[in-house]
C-alpha cells in the first residue's frame, strides 16, 4: 500500500492566546469631581480591561490598565476624552510590568 508510510498529524483547534500588556496612565486636567473614576471603571469593564483607577493628591488621576492591544488602544483613546464634564489637558502613558489583575477597581482615596 502506497499510503502506509505517511504519518498523520493532529491539527490543534486552539485559538492563539492574546498578548496582554500593562500600561500606567496619568490623566491631567479637570479630572476630579467629574465622575472620572466611575466612568473609567465602566469603560474598562466594557472593554475587558483589568487594573485600577485612583485620584492623586495633586489633582491627577492615575490608572493601571492591563488588556490586549486593541482594548488598551480604545481605553487610552477614551482617557483622552473622559466623561462629559472632564477637561483632559494631558494624558501620559508608558508600558509597565504585568501584574495580572483579576478585575478593574475604583480605588478610594483619602484626599
The answer to whether residues 104 and 52 touch, using CB atoms and an 8 Å cutoff, is yes
- H or E element, residue 38: helix 36-47
Catalytic one of 55, 100, 102, 103: 55
Active site residue 5: no
d(CA 97, CA 27): 19
The answer to whether residues 95 and 19 touch, using CB atoms and an 8 Å cutoff, is no
Active site residue 55: yes
d(CA 81, CA 103): 23
Catalytic one of 5, 37, 58, 103: 37
The answer to whether residues 69 and 19 touch, using CB atoms and an 8 Å cutoff, is yes
- As annotated, the active-site residues are 37, 55
Amino acid at each position: 500500500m502506497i499510503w502506509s508510510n505517511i504519518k498523520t498529524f493532529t491539527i490543534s483547534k486552539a485559538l492563539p492566546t492574546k498578548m496582554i500588556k500593562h500600561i500606567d496612565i496619568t490623566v491631567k486636567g479637570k479630572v476630579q469631581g467629574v465622575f472620572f473614576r466611575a466612568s473609567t471603571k465602566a469603560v474598562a469593564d466594557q472593554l475587558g480591561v483589568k487594573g485600577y483607577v485612583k485620584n492623586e493628591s495633586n489633582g491627577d488621576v492615575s490608572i493601571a490598565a492591563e488588556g490586549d492591544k486593541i482594548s488598551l488602544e480604545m481605553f487610552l483613546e477614551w482617557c483622552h476624552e473622559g466623561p462629559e464634564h472632564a477637561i483632559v489637558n494631558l494624558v501620559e502613558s508608558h508600558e509597565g510590568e504585568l501584574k495580572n489583575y483579576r478585575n478593574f477597581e475604583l480605588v478610594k482615596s483619602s484626599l
